[in-house]
Amino acid sequence: MKAQRSRDGTRFRVETVHEGGPRMRRARNVVAAVGYYDHPNRLDVPGEDLPHVSHYYYEPHACWRKPVVIVGGKNSAAIVALELYRAGATVTLVHRRDRLSDSVKYWVKPDIENRIKEGSIAARFGTCVEEIRRGALVVRGPKGRDEIPAEAVYLMTGYHPDPTLFEGAGVKVDPETLAPVHDPQSLETNVPGFYLAGSVVSGKNTGRIFIENGRFHGEAIVASIVRARRG
């Protein structure tokens, strides 16, 4: 999708691509609610694109009795590790920091910490991935370089929004945080008539807006559009 102001500035030209091909629409207002899950935070290590490596998790049963490595230390990594362990995989969790994040949900945290403590799930803290090979992950941790067997690797390292979509429409984006400039009440950006809804408003700080608070954005945007039309 691409959105650009029309020459007279009163409309947007919105170009979309679907199975039927490209389509051009005209609109007075545009609301971008594109989230961030399409763009995983890559490790940028050799082997990241091998077929047994994924930034997305679907289901655990293909990993029954197989060695699996999960990379990350937040909610997704903890939940995926627990589910794979309970489905019969041999799980190792690799995290670059020295402990799991404090943001892991309070009912998940004791579960994962106790599974690590009892040795049901192996954990390598303070450990970074250097390379992914077929059947193994090469890591560097407090004891130096090591190889961990892995027939599947889940990189649960988060996601980030793609700012190019709104930058093309003239929306200013903070290069550090990827947060688009917007009014927090109306959710209108610096481009009049161009709005943002949902998690995309927070840029890289993806934990700030979720379903429970993002669901009010639609109402605020409609109110702002109605106000603008009434002048």
Which residues lie near ligand FAD (CB under 6 A)? 1, 33-35, 37-38, 165, 198-200, 210-212, 214
CB of 231 to ligand FAD, least distance (A): 30
CB of 1 to ligand FAD, least distance (A): 4
CB of 50 to ligand FAD, least distance (A): 23
Sort strands 135-141 and 128-133 into parallel, antiparallel or unpaired. antiparallel
CB of 54 to ligand FAD, least distance (A): 14
108, 83 contact by CB (below 8 A): no
Tokens representing 57? 């998790």
CB of 162 to ligand FAD, least distance (A): 7
**Closer by beta carbon to ligand FAD, 47 or else 180:** 180
**Closer by beta carbon to ligand FAD, 38 or else 167:** 38
**Closer by beta carbon to ligand FAD, 136 or else 221:** 221
**Closer by beta carbon to ligand FAD, 148 or else 155:** 155
**Closer by beta carbon to ligand FAD, 60 or else 198:** 198
Please tell me the distance from the alpha carbon of residue 177 to that of residue 62, in angstroms, as a whole number. Answer: 37
